[in-house]
Amino acid sequence: MLRAIRTIATAAFTIGLPQAAHGGFDEGARAHKMGDFAQAFKQWEPLAKQGDAQAQYELGWMYGNGEGVPQDQKQAAEWYRKAAKQGHAKAQFKLGAMYGLGEGVPHDDKQAAEWFHKAAAQGDVNAQFALGSVYQLGRGVTKDRIQAANWFREAALRGNARAQANLGARYAGGDGVPQSYERAADWYRKAAEQGEADVQYALGLAYKCGIGVWEDSVLAHMLFSLAARTGHAEASGELAELTKHLTPEQLSEAHALAAGWKPNTPLPTETKTGRP
């Protein structure tokens, strides 16, 4: 009986430790959300020193951004490294980025690529996009257009707008993938729906010329208008020129579509008056 009581007591104490640590982390998270960075640091630092990977990542972020502590990129890199070695994907990506930029650590493209690989393999979308860029440019790895396209696709499938835009451009140019204007337009659309002005402009050109999509001057006008709102110079030029050639009915429909569209909602695929 006595042995059983001791066993239960020991188990309860052991189970209680992580719960207490988690409570401290949650307190730090609440403080950070409220902008009390000093209190967040106070809660997270002991956990990080005890080996908590998430707390180590948070300290890396705080040192990197000067939240609650003086900005110190070397300290940021050290805390990211501690978390990264434990398999923390976001920390692996951040450490890779620091090697790529030479912030807090010596510039080392090979190290950057290695850490990006580790994070990308765990599904970190930012690392997947970064790895696509690494293979595209041949930084720290042998330049490989097919690998670049593969990693851009992984990130694109997870909703990364920059990867979607890049993959669209690759299909348009047949760079690392079979050329397909239709697939290019599909990926451009996904990125454009997230508000990427450059891609809205590119998709507008596709509709203007009927490349990969049905020619539709009203959709082209709408897309040029959306991109032009952000100050996109080329889109503004195309918008002004296209406006000269549309009928009042077409302009009315294009203006209504642009006014009614909101980011992260589907773009229309056809119009009433835009087809030739």
Average pLDDT for 148-161 = 98
Mean pLDDT taken over the chain: 92
Residue 177 clears pLDDT 50, i.e. is over it: yes
List, for residues 63-116, the tens digit of each pLDDT value. Answer: 999 999 999 999 999 999 999 999 999 999 999 999 999 999 999 999 999 999
List, for residues 194-228, the tens digit of each pLDDT value. Answer: 999 999 999 999 999 999 999 999 999 999 999 99
Residue 11 clears pLDDT 50, i.e. is over it: no
Residue 52 clears pLDDT 80, i.e. is over it: yes
List, for residues 78-90, the tens digit of each pLDDT value. Answer: 999 999 999 999 9
**pLDDT at position 23:** 62
Task: Find out if CATH 3.40.50.300 is the number for domain 35-122.
Answer: no
Kindly state the percentage of the chain with pLDDT values over 70: 92
> Measured at the alpha carbon of residue 132, what is the angle toward residues 267 and 98, in degrees to the nearest 5?
110
Counting Cα atoms < 13 Å in the Cβ hemisphere of 49 gives 6
pLDDT confidence of 24, banded at 50, 70, 90?
Answer: confident
Residue 177 near residue 237, CB atoms below 8 Å: no
Residue 2 clears pLDDT 60, i.e. is over it: no
**pLDDT at position 55:** 96
d(CA 232, CA 93): 31
**Domain-wise residue ranges, the chain:** 35-122
pLDDT confidence of 185, banded at 50, 70, 90?
Answer: very high
Average pLDDT for 30-58 = 95
Average pLDDT for 40-50 = 95
pLDDT confidence of 3, banded at 50, 70, 90?
Answer: very low
Helix axes 125-137, 89-101, angle to 10 degrees: 30
Counting Cα atoms < 13 Å in the Cβ hemisphere of 107 gives 3
Q: Which two tokens stand for residue 180?
A: 């397909």
Provide the H-helix boundaries in the chain.
2-33, 37-49, 53-65, 73-85, 89-101, 109-121, 125-137, 145-157, 161-173, 181-192, 197-209, 217-228, 233-243, 248-260
**pLDDT at position 22:** 58
Kindly state the percentage of the chain with pLDDT values over 90: 91
Average pLDDT for 125-144 = 97
Q: Which two tokens stand for residue 256?
A: 């209504």
pLDDT confidence of 1, banded at 50, 70, 90?
Answer: very low
